Amino acid sequence: MVGRRLQFEMDELDEKLIALLRHDARRSISDLAIETGTSRATIRSRIGRLEKNGSIIGYTVILRSDAVEAPVRGIMMIEIEGRVTDRVIASLGAFPDISSIHTTNGRWDLIVELSAPTLTSFDAILRRIRLIPGITASETSLLLATPRSTKARLA
């Protein structure tokens, strides 16, 4: 059915396999089999099933700049006037300091994840964002620590 998302049950092996692939999607089938204590055929079959059922939809390259955290990180909640959300999102997309833009419900229309090398540059980015036509209010919180994340990190 178009637009309907199917749900697939994952067992402990599937979850462990996905965790290993999130950390390094280029790991060999042999390494994954050793790490999970299963055969290469089982791993190959599981990966194929996870791809076929849509649980795994692709693999990507992570650039060093994406994996190294900037010293100053934050989230900015943004309120937008009227029906200019698409235009505001397009404007925000031009900021290299913004790593994610999320639409949401409730008080705020967008949540933006951003980073900068210093507090001064972070402040400058916030000022530029607030000048985008259509943004009527915002609230920003600095991220102090990230105890858990599925994003790759360089060791």
Structural domains in the chain, CATH included, are 12-52 (1.10.10.10), 64-143 (3.30.70.920)
Spatial separation of the C-alpha atoms in residues 152 and 155, rounded to whole Å: 9
What's the predicted TM-score (pTM) here? 0.60
Edge-first strand order for the sheet with 72-80 is: 98-103, 110-116, 72-80, 135-143
Q: Which residue has the higher pLDDT, 131 or 25?
A: 131
pLDDT at 65 over 60: no
What is the average pLDDT score of the chain? Answer: 87
With contact defined as beta carbons under 8 Å apart, do 145 and 69 qualify?
Answer: no
For β-strands 135-143 and 98-103, DSSP reports them as unpaired
pLDDT band of 2, cuts 50, 70, 90: very low
Q: Name the token pair of 35.
A: 């790490």
Q: Name the token pair of 1.
A: 């059915």
Mean pLDDT for the stretch of residues 7-33: 88
Predicted confidence (pLDDT) per residue in 76-135, tens digit: 999 999 899 999 999 999 998 998 999 999 999 999 999 999 999 999 999 999 999 999
